[in-house]
Amino acid sequence: MNSNDFPKKYDYPTVEKKIAQYWEDNEIYKFKHGAGNDKIYAVDTPPPYVSSAHLHVGHVMSYSQAEFIIRYKRMKGFNIFYPMGFDDNGLPTERYVEKKYKINKSKITREDFIDLCLKETKAGIETYKSLWKSAGISADYGLSYSTIDERSRKTSQKSFLALYDKGLIEKRNEPILWCPKCRTSLAQADVLIEEFGGVLYDIEFNSMSGKSLIISTTRPELLGGCVAIYANPGDERYKSLKDVRIKIPLYDRDVPVKYDESVDINYGTGLMMVCTWGDASDVIKWKEDKLDTFMIVNGAGRLNELSGNYSGLNVKDAKKAIVSDLRELSLIKGEKPLVHHVGVHDRCETPIEFILAKQWFVKILEHKERFINAGNAMKWHPEFMKTRYDEWINNLKWDWNISRQRFYGVPFPVWYCSDCGEAIVADEASIPVDPVTNPPHIDKCPKCGGKEFKPETDVMDTWMTSSMTPFINTSWAYGRDADNGLFNKVYPMSLRPQAQEIIRTWLFYTVVKSIYHTDIVPFENIMISGWGLDKNGKKMSKSQGNFVDPENIIAKYSADALRYWASKAGLGQDLRFNEEDVVNGRRLLIKIWNAARFLITNVHRGFNPHEKNITEIKIGQVDKWIITELENTLKICETDMESYNYSSSLRTATDFFYNVYCDNYLEIIKNIFWEEDGKNDDRKNTVLNVMYFVSLNVLKIFAPFLPFITEELYLSFYKNFENDKSIHLSAWPEFDKGLVFDDSVKIVGILLNILDASRKLRTGLNLHQNHRASKLLIKTLNPDYIEVINEISGDIMSAARVRRIVFSDKADFKTGDDALFISIEK
């Protein structure tokens, strides 16, 4: 570009589109597989579940934050393995489709439903890709994966087969967590605890000997499922009940009394009704004490025939009916409102129930210690997030149930013998298979010789696939040598960036799988981002309607400006969205543009920044000072980036750029460019070289954050003198001790004190910005200053916009330096 043509305004909508295209056309972010650079930095990209139109600026925030580090690593010379993932299988997508088309799984065929899911998935992927690209996310889109594609299905099924072989997966018939709305079983990680207002009913029971007993419960509708009454073994009141049976009100049934330490003497009357099953403690007691089983709630959340008169009612209506009947019999002796905590399905917020069912489980309870150790073997950023991981593992109560009674997911590679029920798992060569459409590889049941087989119709938990991302990415399912040994090169991966709410799912399950399959932790570093909050500090979400559309913000202020906002929160910190910060980002861009413009438009023909080394040209004190300040900045920025403290890095860079480089250095030197041609040519050339050196390095430390504008300036100007085809492939500027001139910093400190004071005086004198005052009077109490001031008098006059400097005792305005006073005469 001809420097005279350099645009006055930064036209970011046009430029950002153009630059994004440049990156794509030139494969700037392509992973160089097999090209010799084995200094690999591998990222396990989060695959957010694909349902277009729920994306908000918070998503851009967390992706950007990880990407700041990734871009930095790229400039540090790493060969970046950065695939883009799209999570599109499983219940989240199904829920999205159900809502969008107002259907549910009982009113549509499996095939039609899957078709709709695939259609939405495809649309979702396009929306995501387009947003990530416009936000400048530097993934290698050629490495994209979707969790429903063939490679993912093969990987999940291979994992299933491998763990089945190791005895780490098994099918069991036991009480499981169940969502009556989605009609599927769930894992503990799919359940959230929510606060509910409820009522604690004191209900009168009678022992068979006629003794009246008051028992408190929040779930009278489960009376029909009551299988025992518990008391604390130390509770004197109830010791006599040993061997006594208790009659259940409304039902013609009686149950035993049992004792357990877990019963709180002070809660209610100290008696506890245990049912099949109201909560986890019921299940535990049922297992430990081998209680009877009276399952009165069915999979649809309705009471069944075992409940007698209440059969067919849903849980809520049954509660009303039973309470009303108990009232009529005067068996309700008390009602206390209380707040209690109920587990709900995280996708639909329906309270979960326990039902008995045959399900596939990945055993995890017996290996908790290994997972805790794995957590300790990875570096957490920020550190305190590891607590959540540890806490989750320590509190696990159930093995990981991976069966889902749904349609859209990866099928189990399993059939059952119609005669004896024996499970037949697929052979590895045939996966991925869908047992509903594919026959098994054998024609005879190995156990009973039966020739008929039924497919497993459940699908796997979506996390069964997502937990395999490091393996999907590296084609592990095709053998460890597949894809030129990619797995061995990339695994374990350098970085797992992700949001905090999926520590217990995506992260935990990935660790489980990785440990089981390889016995090696999957990541060196884990980076946990906070949430994007709305203006009022509430979490942004589609359902709350308080989300900000990133496309609009990018269109209005540019992607770089949005990324600037994203840099404001440190790791693990939530960040409020306020448009002011985006506006500030745009201001920074404009400032960068204009500072570059000053250099570019002053560069003469024949300018060559590499003719001599920066130290070999005749640099003055102010040049040495600005170079020193730059070096100190580079040092801090590098330290910050190395410790994932990107926020501080950008702040430091911005401070230097604004307050030191623009407001002071450029202000001090710019006057020389106003002189007639021919005058000061040497000095001009020196200053241009210094500006080139400083501004290019500043641009580089801005580059991870503001990839578009830095690239635009690089390509349109700096690249004329540099070799790299993108600033993002250029080398991160290393701190150079040889470019630190502490004496110059001291000397220029005097100048800056004078400049600062003179600005105050000029404001007081109402002087025009560029008015050249006639005299600057200086008084100094430090004789050493005189020589220094004489040496840099040209710069002082230039900076303070004065024609002459005079040492005079009349100077009476104290500067920031106690030994230095100045005055200005108009």
Q: What is the residue whose two structure tokens read 């849980």?
A: 315
Residue 614 makes CB contacts below 8 A (sequence gap 6+) with: 627, 689, 690, 693, 739
Sheet with 423-425, edge to edge strand ranges:
423-425, 414-417, 453-455
Question: Cα-flanking dihedrals φ and ψ of residue 479, to 5°?
Answer: 105, 150
Residues between 282 and 311 with contacts to RNA, criterion CB under 7 A: 284
**Interface with RNA in residues 720-779 (CB under 7 A):** 756, 759-760, 762-763, 766, 768-770
* C-beta closer to RNA: residue 193 or 377: 193
Q: Give CA separation, 101 vs 250, 654, 735, in Å.
A: 43, 49, 58
Find the binder of RNA among 206, 207, 418, 578 (CB under 7 A).
Answer: 578
Give the footprint of RNA on residues 587-616 (CB under 7 A).
587, 590-591, 594-595, 597-598, 601
Window 510-549: contact mask with RNA (x via CB under 7 A) = ---------------------------x-x----------
Q: Where are the beta strands (DSSP E) in 283-382?
A: 332-345, 353-362, 379-381
Q: Which is nearer to RNA, 161 or 569 (CB)?
A: 569
In the bound complex, what is the minimum distance in angstroms from residue 764's beta carbon to RNA?
7
Whichever of 263 and 614 has its CB closer to RNA, that residue is: 263
Q: How far is the CB of 594 from RNA (least distance, A)?
A: 3
Taking the mean position of all CA atoms in its chain, how far away is CA 593? Answer: 31
Cα–Cα nearest to 689, from 746, 752, 628, 604: 604
Rounded least distance, CB 388 to RNA, Å: 4
* Per-residue 3-state assignment (H helix, E strand, C coil) for 644-656: CCHHHHHHHHHHH
* Contacts (Cβ under 8 Å, ≥6 apart) of 619: 627, 686, 690
DSSP 792: T
Q: Which long-range contacts (CB under 8 A, 24 or more apart) does 817-821 make?
A: 817/749, 817/750, 817/753, 818/781, 819/780, 819/781, 819/782, 819/785, 820/750, 820/753, 820/754, 820/757, 820/778, 820/779, 820/780, 820/781, 820/782, 820/785, 821/778, 821/779, 821/780
CB of 572 to RNA, least distance (A): 7
CB of residue 285 vs RNA: minimum separation in angstroms?
8
Residue number, 262 or 774, with CB nearest to RNA: 262
**Residue 581 binding RNA, by CB under 7 A:** yes
* Least Cβ distance, residue 416 to RNA (angstroms): 33
* Closest distance to RNA from the beta carbon of 729 (Å): 27
- Shortest separation between residue 76's beta carbon and RNA, angstroms: 22
Q: Using CB under 7 A, which residues numbered 63 to 92 contact RNA?
A: none
Considering only CA atoms, which of 48, 199, 222 is closest in space to residue 137?
Answer: 48
Helices and strands (H and E) in the chain: how many: 24, 29
Q: Which of residues 639-698 bind RNA (CB under 7 A)?
A: 648, 651, 658, 662-663, 666-667, 670, 673-674
* Per-residue contact string for residues 237-266; x = within reach of RNA by CB under 7 A: -------------------------xxx-x
CB-nearer residue toward RNA: 31 or 294: 294
Residue of the chain from 37, 142, 172, 267 that contacts RNA (CB under 7 A): 267
> Cα-flanking dihedrals φ and ψ of residue 601, to 5°?
-75, -10
Q: Toward RNA, which CB reaches closer, 389 or 416?
A: 389
**Which stretches of 305-402 are DSSP H helices?**
315-328, 368-376, 386-394
- Total residues in contact with RNA, by rule CB under 7 A: 80
Least distance (Å) between residue 472 CB and RNA: 25
| 30 vs 759 by CB, closer to RNA | 759
Q: How far is the CB of 357 from RNA (least distance, A)?
A: 21
Contact between residue 175 and residue 188 where contact means Cβ atoms under 8 Å apart = no
Binding of residue 280 to RNA (CB under 7 A):
yes
Nearer to RNA, 27 or 264 (CB): 264
Q: How far is the CB of 85 from RNA (least distance, A)?
A: 23
Cβ proximity of 68 and 647 under 8 Å: no
Whole-number Å distance between alpha carbons of 518 and 102: 43
Residue 340 binds RNA, judged by CB under 7 A:
yes
Least distance CB 591 / RNA (angstroms): 5
Restricted to residues 483-502, the positions that interact with RNA (CB under 7 A) are 500-501
Per CB under 7 A, which region of 92-100, 301-309, 564-572, 736-744 contacts RNA? Answer: 564-572
d(CA 274, CA 286): 8
Q: Closer CB to RNA, residue 80 or residue 273?
A: 273
Q: Is the Cβ of residue 266 or residue 330 nearer to RNA in the bound state?
A: 266
Nearest residue (CB) to RNA, 133 versus 285? 285
Residue with Cβ nearer RNA (342 or 357): 342
Cβ proximity to RNA: between 362 and 561 the closer is 561
Instruction: Pick one of 74, 563, 568, 779: the residue that binds RNA (CB under 7 A).
Output: 568
Side chain identity at residue 389, one-letter code: Y
| CB of 571 vs RNA, minimal distance in Å | 10
Within residues 320-339, the interface with RNA by CB under 7 A covers: 338
Of 90, 180, 220, 278, the one binding RNA (CB under 7 A) is 278
Largest CA distance in the chain: 117
Binder to RNA among 47, 180, 224, 270 (CB under 7 A)? 270
Under rule CB under 7 A, which residues in 137-156 are in contact with RNA? none
Please, which residue, 127 or 281, has the CB nearer to RNA? Answer: 281
Omega before 382 within 30 of 0, i.e. cis: yes
485: left (phi over 0), alpha (psi -120 to 50) or beta: left
CA distance 131 to 619: 46
**Closer CB to RNA, 578 or 808, in the complex:** 578
User: How far apart are CB 182 and RNA at their closest, in Å?
Assistant: 20
Select the residue interacting with RNA from 124, 268, 301, 375 (CB under 7 A). Answer: 268
Measured from the CB atom, the residue of 218 and 621 that comes closer to RNA is: 218
End-to-end CA distance of the chain: 43
User: Among residue numbers 357 through 416, which ones bind RNA (CB under 7 A)?
Assistant: 384, 387-388, 391-392, 395, 397
Q: Which of 576, 635, 683, 725 binds RNA (CB under 7 A)?
A: 576
Between CA 687 and CA 693 the distance in angstroms is: 10
In sequence order, the β-bridge partners of residue 362 are 169, 400
Instruction: Give, for 693, the enclosing helix (H) or strand (E).
Output: helix 681-702
Site residues for RNA, window 162-201 (CB under 7 A)?
A: 188, 192-193, 195
* 8 A C-beta contact, residue 49 and residue 87: yes
d(CA 116, CA 110) in angstroms, rounded, equals 10
Do residues 439 and 430 make contact, with C-beta atoms less than 8 angstroms apart?
Answer: no
Least distance to RNA, CB of residue 58, Å = 13
Helix 579-602 × helix 681-702 angle, to 10°: 150
Whichever of 244 and 265 has its CB closer to RNA, that residue is 265
CB of 204 to RNA, least distance (A): 15
